[in-house]
Amino acid sequence: MKKFLNKAKSAFDEHLDGAGGRGQQQVPMQEGQSSIQPPTPKDVTRFRYHHGCNMGSVFILEKWLTGSMFPDGAPGSSELAAAEAWVKKEGMDHARQRFEKHWREYVSDGDLDWLRDHGKCTTIRLPIGYFTLGPPYCEKTPFRKVADVYQNAWHAVQQLVQRCHQRGIGVLIDLHGLPGGANAQEHSGTNSNKAELWSSSRDKDLATRCLLFIAQQARNMEGVAGMQIINEAEHGADAKGMYEWYDHVISEVQKIDAGLPIYISDAWVLDKAASWSQGHNSIKGRCNPVVVDIHCYWCFGDDDKRKSPQEITHEASNQLSKLDGKDGSVVDHGAAQAIVGEYSCVLGEESWAKGGGNKDDLVRQFGNAQSQRYQQRAGGSFFWTYRMDWMPGGEWGFKQMTDSRAIIPPVSLTLSSGDVHQRIQGAQSQQQQSKQNAVGAHTHYWDTNHPGQYEHWRFEQGWDVGFHDAMTFLGMRGQAEQSGGDKIGMLDLWVLKRLRESGQGGKFMWEFEQGLRQGVKDFYSAAGV
């Protein structure tokens, strides 16, 4: 496979060195210099379709998931409640040792092997808190008295990221718990029942410092798929100044690593967040690629409890429709890329009671609908959750839902390395005919239906880049002797990256984009994935 991909790389380089024109059509001299290079392993880690899960209650404890980490009588259900209770019960040193053992052992090598081999995970979302970064980030916060518990917490994060990377699994580092709380829930780290981040400049400043630390550290960490700067921001007016703070964080992270994907919360309003992200994900901009994180649950609201499983399954089949008209044309309005950072197969008992059928079948139908829809319309999806005390977790458990075939990985991830190789060879044998068909259809449509002056050589260039990019993504796992193949899931952001690198300008850049997208599509059609 490695020899085969090197041959593909040579063909890719030859294409980039050439004029890229159609016979009589030449590239204008005023075009900028292209910096496009073949996709790297880091590119694949960041821009593939992310099929995975949240890691679980590891660095941010939630009592309902990990009751074993709370001593009897602990006055609360949050990370802070557990840390304070253990320090009071057995002293700082023993409490620190207890937490370090949990960070080190709760996710075993067997767990990670299962996620790779059976879960077919490409990526996991790893929730951490500001306190996870160590004592300097706990000063003047509710964690100040237990700060020493976290002396080695960040090192434990680094070790877990490394262990995942050794298995070909990327990690989205998720700053889940922010100072003051981005929301009032216990998963922000305390039981304060307040979302004070939005009203406190000091908390926002500390949160920014935390994110800059993570960005700086991530530059030297293999396997980091991105950084999520916030989890479940409060809805609407309750998150005062949210987008201004997003702007500030992104501008500062850009100075450290402008290539690191930044994930934001949609604050439960996807269309507004997607529109905002398009301003950052523009061709003329050079800031970090921005991804919108949405969470999909149908088990909490009273309105959902009045629905049947069949009604909810139908809703799931149409999720993310608010992206329609926002993604798919980066030249026109910037990139809009969303992922589903949390979802489950849980419904309220009131809903299940309305199902009128076998619950296992209804769960499977619900999970299948989510899997299929997210793979169609999102750049990735992360089930909530994996690791908990009560494995395999029922409808909250990625392991149980995967084993029961409710959650289905993309087909390309289930292929053997030999099958991937054969499919790539088959696609290569069809490449010239596919290109000829695509270019012919494109030129015929525009020259016939909208006669005028075009630069169709841009479409050809884009098609070549798209076809080779898709082929390289699919074959990258084979270089590490791993089964399965990755697809370009974060397609809008990948197109944005290629447009920025292309050196192209002028009013016909859209032809390059259309060609690139068609090349990706044609490769997948030829490869049968």
**Using one digit for the tens of pLDDT, what is the confidence trace for 314-372?**
999 999 999 999 999 999 999 999 999 999 999 999 999 999 989 999 999 999 999 99
pLDDT for the residue numbered 5 = 52
Cα-atom radius of gyration of the chain, to the nearest Å?
Answer: 24
Residue 21, pLDDT > 80, answer no
Q: How many residues can be counted in the chain?
A: 529
Residue 23, pLDDT > 90, answer no
Work out the percent of the chain whose per-residue pLDDT is above 90.
92
Per-residue pLDDT, averaged over 116-121, amounts to: 98
Q: What is the pLDDT of residues 29-74, one digit of tens each?
A: 346 899 999 999 999 999 999 999 999 999 999 999 999 999 999 9
Residue 15, pLDDT > 80, answer no
User: Are 466 and 487 in contact, with CB atoms under 8 Å apart?
Assistant: no
pLDDT for the residue numbered 414 = 98
User: Are 83 and 91 in contact, with CB atoms under 8 Å apart?
Assistant: no
Element (H, E) at 295: strand 290-298
Task: Identify the residue whose tokens are 């059928």.
Answer: 357
> Could you tell me the pLDDT band of residue 25, with boundaries at 50, 70 and 90?
very low
Task: Identify the residue whose tokens are 């005919």.
Answer: 433
Contacts for 236 with CB less than 8 Å, ≥ 6 apart: 267, 268, 269
For the whole prediction, is pTM greater than 0.75?
A: yes
CA-to-CA distance for 288 and 261, rounded, in angstroms?
A: 6
Helix (H, G, I), strand (E, B) or coil at 124: strand
Average pLDDT, the chain: 94
Q: What is the pLDDT of residues 62-83, one digit of tens each?
A: 999 999 999 999 999 999 999 9
Expressed in angstroms, the distance from the first to the final Cα of the chain is 18
Q: What is the pLDDT of residues 386-429, one digit of tens each?
A: 999 999 999 999 999 999 999 999 999 999 999 999 999 999 99
- Return the structure tokens found at 127: 């929730």
Element (H, E) at 524: helix 509-527
Count Cβ atoms below 10 Å from residue 340 Cβ, excluding itself. Answer: 23
Residue 9, pLDDT > 80, answer no
Residue 263, pLDDT > 50, answer yes
